[in-house]
Structure 1
Amino acid sequence: MRPRDLGESEVFRWREIQRTSASLDNPFLSVDFTLAMGRLRDYVRVAVIEDGGEIVGFFPYERHGFGIGKPLGGFLTTCHGLISVPELKIDPRDLLRACKLSAIDFDHLVAGQPTFAPYETDVRPAPVMDLSGGFDAYIEQVRAASAKNYKTVRYKERKLGREQGEIRFAWDSPDVGALRTLLGWKSDQYQRTGRVDRFAQPWIVRLVEEMHSQRSDDFAGVLTMVYAGDTPVAGHFGLRTAHTLVGWFPAYDSAFARYSPGIMHHLHMAEHAANAGLHQVDMGKGGREYKEWLKTGALMVAEARISRPSPMAAAQWLGRVPVNRLRTVVVDNPTLFRAADRVLKGYGRARSALRPRSAAQQSPKAQ
């Protein structure tokens, strides 16, 4: 069904099931996120799984042309899977048939779910900031693992305060202007580093704005910002459940890059998250160096592909799977990763340099 067709009892059951398992404690698996995606994207669907008349699971997904499936949110999200009672196991090809899908690929699947586990091809840890023992316990682990890095970050923070203004941190800010500033930084980062600018798509901006307005005990959007005086220098927008904050869009003003404001922000964010009763910050899998330094735990995520025999499934495999495998090889090799990153940044600089010229050529005066 479409998300909007879920009844009150089904929404209640979804939330009830999600609370039963720590592995499902992720806002991207929340019914609130699925409902928001359904309002913005026509291809979002939900499979409702019943056993003996009782709902035992939900499977949110995207159904694209020719029966090609994608996890809900696709490249935007960092957690996919079944929201189901513990140990539920069904034939995944029956699930695809019921969903009218020929194939689906996962790259951030909750590892170990009985339905999908036989199809997992790459299982790896996603770093988390474990706050279950409180912030003091967390920061002691960080300092013990890399005292030099911690000392350097705190030195840069004091330097920023002296040179730019007193450091101030805003937790769960309702300021829409601050959110737009953050998205502007992130858009600039995508362009500078040669990545696809997600915020060039209006529906993604609308999604983030809608998530920012969400407020409940089990689900909310959380905007955090670091200020030097009255000047914003770094921030993050993510989603949370009652216990977990998931990293989504961290960014900073590149004019303050010499102060390492991004890492500084994450340390403040961890402190306020712990004070707010959250147990962890999920930073998502990826090869960023700062994640390795800040992590004190990990969650396991998997890649998987499930398909039914069909020409479209075969064509999709040829177009997607070899590229994904190559990406994994690059990400796992530090030398290749740095080389690829340099190429993307060079492309980003060239693209930025050409953009003003192109705009001028299209102006009446230039013509």
Structure 2
Amino acid sequence: MRSMSNADITIHRPDELSSSLRRAWHQAMDESPEYANPFLAPEFAIGIGRYRGGARVAVLREKGEPVGFLPYERNAFGVGRAIGLGLSDCQALVHRPGVGWDSQELLRACGLSVFEFDHLVEEQKPFGRHVTGTFASPVIDLEGGAAGSYAEWLRGAYPGLAKTTLKKERRVGRDVGEVRFVFDERDPLMLRRLMEWKSAQYRRTGRMDRFGKPWIVGLVDHLFQVRDEHFTGVLSVLYAGDRPVAAHFGPRSSTVFACWFTAYDPEFRYYSPGLIMHLRMAEAAGRHGVRLMDFGRGDKEYKDWLKTRELRVGEGFATRPHPVAAAHRMWRRPVRGLRNTVLAHPTLREPADQLLKTVGTLRTRVKADSNRAEPHAR
């Protein structure tokens, strides 16, 4: 491997990428399975670029030929972050096999003093010394479209879950209506319903409401319309009769399906709609040619139930000597360390979750009281 010099790296806005550059990017994804994740596709970077003015792409070239692509966001102080940090579950410099680079030269060419990441692909060796921690990212390995019914697939793939899950599906079918699953639902009203459910869930659990941010709503609406071999926005919906019970939106490439936003109608929580949704998605994704279903990092019970193995992703800060880089690390690293400590220890995580839920309940109650009082205030 030879490293790049500044003359080999050019910087572009995502929407300025020519069709030939996008094809070269797709080719790099196809040649290395670790870069097949849809969050690493140019379509995701272009989507982010529609709503984030600092979005950029560094293009690495060898003998004039584009061989590597780093999507990132940059602020006015030269602080960089992986594209879509906080939303993306996979980050990397996507490159063709055998291409090497030097992290310091790369940051200098990008005009960055620091580059922050939290789901970095493990194979990114030039960033290795900047990784401050690695974490499990559970995945499901999927085989090609299985013969037989969903129930037969479920009994073969998850014998320990099959009996209880199928029993709950039959029960909701009797209580509400026949269970029906649509893997690729094109009704935008169902996407809006998913966002409403997810916003309510964020508020109940005391988390930041991502769909309270107009740019994230706009991004998801945009990605829902993208239909490409390397990136397709897939909305999946579980129905009971004509009533939607649970929904999921996430991107897929030709071989990888990324789990992203899942939510359900709380009225049906006793039927385990979230678990049913993920099992239905896994079976359907396999039939549609997906070979890997990626949950992203994070400790959730259902991920432990469903995973077949784990990938490793890294978080950290790639830096070069600069006062801004030192200040950024001093500010961000303790916050990350505290968060990771809490998440890694159930004795700390469970009380923290309970506190957030209590805050969410109070916040929801105050908002409801405010809405009831508002007409009288006028």
Same fold (TM over 0.5): yes
Match of 2:34 among 23, 28, 34: 23
Cα drift, residue 141 of structure 1: 4.2
Matched residue type, 1:273: A
Q: Indicate conservation of the 8 Å contact 1:89/1:114, yes or no.
A: no
Task: Quote the RMSD (CA, aligned, Å).
Answer: 1.6
Quick check: 1:226 aligned with 2:238? yes
CA distance change for structure 1 residues 51 and 175 in 2, over 3 Å: closer, same or farther?
same
Match of 1:33 among 34, 40, 44: 44
Q: Indicate conservation of the 8 Å contact 1:141/1:296, yes or no.
A: no
Q: Indicate conservation of the 8 Å contact 2:69/2:94, yes or no.
A: yes
> Counterpart of 1:115?
126
> Counterpart of 1:200?
212
Q: In percent, how many aligned pairs have the same letter?
A: 44
CA distance change for structure 1 residues 233 and 364 in 2, over 3 Å: closer, same or farther?
closer
Cα drift, residue 185 of structure 1: 0.5
Structure 1 runs of 4+ aligned residues shifted over 6 Å read: none
Q: Indicate conservation of the 8 Å contact 1:116/1:304, yes or no.
A: no
Q: Supply the distance in 1 between the matched residues of 2:344 and 2:158 (Cα, whole angstroms).
A: 23
CA distance change for structure 1 residues 349 and 21 in 2, over 3 Å: closer, same or farther?
same
Q: Indicate conservation of the 8 Å contact 1:15/1:30, yes or no.
A: yes
Match of 2:136 among 94, 101, 125: 125
Correspondence 1:1-367 to 2 at 5 A: 1-132=12-143, 134-135=145-146, 140-143=156-159, 147=160, 149-359=161-371, 363=374, 365-366=376-377
Secondary structure, aligned partner of 1:65: coil
Cα drift, residue 138 of structure 1: 7.4
Cα drift, residue 123 of structure 1: 2.0
Aligned residues: 362
Q: Indicate conservation of the 8 Å contact 2:154/2:162, yes or no.
A: no
Cα drift, residue 217 of structure 1: 2.3
Higher mean C-alpha deviation, range 2-11 or range 165-174: 2-11
TM-score, normalising length: structure 1: 0.94
Q: Deviations over 1:144-195 (max 9, x none)?
A: xxx2x44222222211111111100011010001111111101111111011
Q: Indicate conservation of the 8 Å contact 1:81/1:109, yes or no.
A: yes
Q: Supply the distance in 2 between the matched residues of 1:138 and 1:216 (Cα, whole angstroms).
A: 29
Cα drift, residue 129 of structure 1: 1.6
Cα drift, residue 326 of structure 1: 1.4
Higher mean C-alpha deviation, range 24-33 or range 124-133: 124-133
Q: Gaps (5+ residues) in structure 2?
A: 1-11, 147-151
Q: Supply the distance in 1 between the matched residues of 2:153 and 2:371 (Cα, whole angstroms).
A: 53
Q: Supply the distance in 2 between the matched residues of 1:75 and 1:123 (Cα, whole angstroms).
A: 16
Q: Supply the distance in 1 between the matched residues of 2:172 and 2:157 (Cα, whole angstroms).
A: 25
